Amino acid sequence: MVRDRVVKGFGSFLGGFALALFVAAPAQAEPLRKAEATGGQGEALLRQALALEHGEGVPQDMARAATIYCESARHGHPEAMYSLGWMYANGRGMYRNDAYAGTLFAMAAFLGHPQAARMTRFTGPYTGALPDCMHPVPGRTPGTLSPEKLIGSMSPSRREVARLLVQLAPKYGIQPEFALAIALTESNLNPQALSPKSAMGVMQLIPATAERFNVTKPYDPEQNIRGGLAYLRWLLAYFEGDVRLAAAAYNAGEGAVNRHGGVPPYRETRAYVERIVGFVGDALHPFDHRVTAPSPALRKLRAISEEEMGS
């Protein structure tokens, strides 16, 4: 049955939890479907993709829009599935592919998208064919950092710092998992930490960064954390939500990332980036494009990526 094939397709990228929802009784599954499908990260990614597709407040970038639609779709967002399907159905910024479009429309329709079912009349039905971005990256595992579980295992002093960090992170648009991954890697949540390069406090701010983000008391946990979160927010906007580039820049500086056109070839930085990505799992993070203009290195990186895909 088509329904069975759609369920199996979902299971390949949403995991066992989503699969359980789709085979549950409809009355029980409906509210859970919507909660999973419209989760915060998928919704935030969808807004970014819409802005990039239509050039609303940011330069129009179809390739980037498709990438972020795909990430949102992998989080189970039906509108992202529909929008990515529309791009494939109309050859909007990419080669037309009715097989991909039909599958994406069918999946969106299964989650209750009102227009998606009608679109399959033009593209054909669900076939299971999906673009590569909808499949898990080989060798990549989901993030392993559970903030609550981790905080519960800490000593009282570190637990207090961690809870402050988790409380403040959303106010800066930072996911708690990402903030914790950075702070644990930088200082192990030690407010008095001082590195040989004069990086200070929980978020290991060097003097120039502390001054840049108005941190006058770098050993005060809250002020230091706020400064570090402000810097992370800036980096995520500068690198348009690319976790790898933002993490690399936090370690080695955004200038180094720009000079090397990506993660610098430093052993320490590469290990740092892999540790952070291993913690958070996702390669994209929601960002606020109003914070700063994007890095000039991004256009070069995307051009290289498109050349590699076309070769």
Measuring CA to CA, which residue among 115, 126, 57 is closest to residue 86? 115
Decide if 308 is catalytic.
no
Beta-bridge mates of residue 284: 242
Beta-bridge mates of residue 205: 200
Burial tier of 19 (Cβ tally within 10 Å: 0-12, 13-18, 19+): middle
Alpha carbons 240 and 233: distance in angstroms, whole number:
10
| Cβ-based neighbours of 136, under 8 Å, separated by 6 or more | 12, 13
Neighbours of 202 (CB within 10 A): 30
Catalytic pick from 36, 53, 177, 186?
A: 186
| Cβ-based neighbours of 75, under 8 Å, separated by 6 or more | 37, 39, 41, 42, 45
Catalytic residues: 186
